[in-house]
Each structure stands twice: as structure tokens, then as C-alpha cells.
Amino acid sequence: MGKVDLKYKTTRISFIQNYFLAILVIILLLLLIPFLNFQAWWSNLVILGIFSLIFFLIFEPEAERVLREYIVTADEITKVEGILTKKRISIPYQSVADVRYFKGITGRIFNFGDVIIKGIKDDIIIKGVRKPEVIYNLIKTKVSRIKEEKKE
């Protein structure tokens, strides 16, 4: 049987609050336009600040998806960060102390959440993945098997 690596990335839906805030900021900008004096320096600074905020709110999810990847293998859980330089944190199943998952209010509505893996030295938080209970159960099962094998 071949080795299967399950790769996960943060879902865009987990950033729904960013998109909602970006829409609110755009509405705020549209409401402010009649009151802005485009000849004044402060007016241009306000517009620049609002556009910067909108840019950040919209592109943060894409940056998160490009910068981070989570890999669940038969032996370990790995978090890979970076574009040019890669930082890897791996926790073998025998070093997993605790596994939990968390769903907030929007996570329960749209079925996404975080999976928290506590290792002996490091922790990995798999952020904003769909169906976190599936990943949680997968990791919990593998950790339980290893602990049962140690007892025998």
C-alpha cells in the first residue's frame, strides 16, 4: 500500500469576517466621499488608509493560503511555512500530547475550524480547515493506535 499524505490549507470561508469588514469599509468610503476635500492632504491620507485597509482585508486570506500548508502523513503532522525559505515543524504521533479542535460561531455555520495538536516540544495549529472534526478524528485514531502498540 502506498504512502498517502493529506495536505490541507486554510479555507477562504474561514476569512468570511474579513470579507464582511471589507464590504463595510467600502460602504464607509462611499458615505465619506461627499464630505472629503480632495485638495486637502488629510483627505488623501484618509482615502489611502481606507484603501490600504480594504487591500489588507481582501488579500490576507490569499497570503495565508500561499504561506502555510499542513500535511498529515502516516507518521507525523507537519506545518510548512514560507515561500522562498521554508520552515517546517513536525510532530510525530508518538510525541502528540493532546489533540483538540475548535469551531467558533461562524465555523459552526460554515463547517470550518482549527485543529490544535500539542506536542512535547512544539504545537501546531491547523487554522481554518473544513470539517476539522475529520482531521481531529484521524489524528486521534493514529495517536491511540501508537499508544496501544506501546502497551503491548
The per-residue pLDDT for range 102-125, each reduced to its tens digit, is 999 999 999 999 999 999 888 999
Q: What is the DSSP letter of 15?
A: G
Question: How many whole angstroms from its chain centre is CA 73?
Answer: 19
Fold classification of 6-10+68-151 is PH-domain like (2.30.29)
Q: Residue 77 burial (CB < 10 Å; 0-12/13-18/19+)?
A: buried
Supply the pLDDT for residue 20: 94
Per domain, the residue ranges of the chain are: 6-10+68-151, 12-64
Which three cell numbers, joined as nine digits, stand for 46?
484618509
> What order do you get walking across the sheet with 6-8 strand by strand?
6-8, 68-72, 76-81, 87-92
Band (pLDDT 50/70/90 cuts) for residue 44 is: confident
Mean pLDDT of all residues in 23-49: 86
Q: 3-class DSSP state for residue 74?
A: coil
